[in-house]
Amino acid sequence: MLKDSRIYIAGHMGLLGSALINKLKSGGYTDIVTKTRSELDLTKQDKVNEFFNKERPDFVFLAAGLTGGIIANKKYPATFLHTNIAIQDNVFHAANKYYVKHLVFYGSSCVYPKNCPQPMKEEYLMTGSIEETSEAYAIAKTAGIIGCRSYNSQFNSNCFIALIPNSMYGPNDNFDIEKSHVLSALIRKFHEAKIDEKECITLWGSGNPRREFIFCDDVADASIFAMENANKLQNFHYNIGTGVDYSIKELAEFISRIVGYNGEIKWDLSKPDGAPCKLLDSSKFFDLGWKPSVNIEEGLKVTYEWYLRNMKLFME
């Protein structure tokens, strides 16, 4: 991937897409193509084909898709399944048809079994039952991972690169209570509890599940590294994490301290926990020469500062 290569970022306004734009521009890449959802509906094959035929991108980062937390996944499983499969299927087909050199697709750690051995290795994919609360989304992402491998095998190429980042967070995350993931939801809940001067805050589940979080800039950096070192990659997916996990209770304490909330934290045991642990084994990707650089507290501070500047976007 050269500095003047034509690069298409699908989902450029989201958490990862915006981080990719910043990283690419700061790295000297000059020909970046973007389209908003209203300009290009990625669920429509004819529109996607028309775009690829006209723009002819050399490289594609497929950061577009429908994501959400436990509430959204339980409420809209069919929407998550259809939207994500449609987007990735259409973009894969067009990328192959119009000779894209490399495409990065993003899976999710929820594709691994609910009771997966820890840390989760790439070869554990489809070796057990997945978490029911994210089943539809996980199936769609699994299809994308297998899709990358299938296109490479059938067309004898290394065009498609599948990366599985663990839970991402950072600026431009979604802080909508229903649609957000756990970390952004916690930031908003603690901030509002502080503003409302609440004596206590009640969070879902037991707080015992452990999660690994990775800052969006690190995932963007890993993605560009993968593009630049595509000749070193095998036709398999790669985990992208930090190698460190935290309990939800620990994260709640981090966030309450950063936000400045001093009330009591209670836990609603009637609500689901989700998978007990989700720590990735990222050693295969680390062995290629890449490492993350942002620790959790540093990343949380940056994320909260961004939320304070933009929280009006998420007010009902």
CA distances from 124 to 75, 130, 275, 297 (A): 28, 11, 15, 30
Active site residue 137: yes
* 44 CB-near residues (< 8 Å, 6+ apart): 90
Q: Rg of the Cα trace of the chain?
A: 19
Select which of 8, 76, 112, 137 is catalytic: 137
Contacts of 225 by beta carbon, 8 Å cutoff, 6+ apart: 288, 289, 290
CA distance 124 to 209: 20
Q: Compute the distance between CA of residue 15 and CA of residue 286 in angstroms, rounded to an integer.
A: 23
Judged on CB neighbours under 10 Å (0-12, 13-18, 19+), 306 is middle
Report CA dihedral (10, 68, 145, 170) to the nearest 10 degrees.
Answer: 60
Angle between helices 15-26 and 216-228 (to 10 degrees): 60
- Give the Cα-Cα-Cα angle 107, 85, 44 (nearest 5 degrees): 130
Active site residues: 137
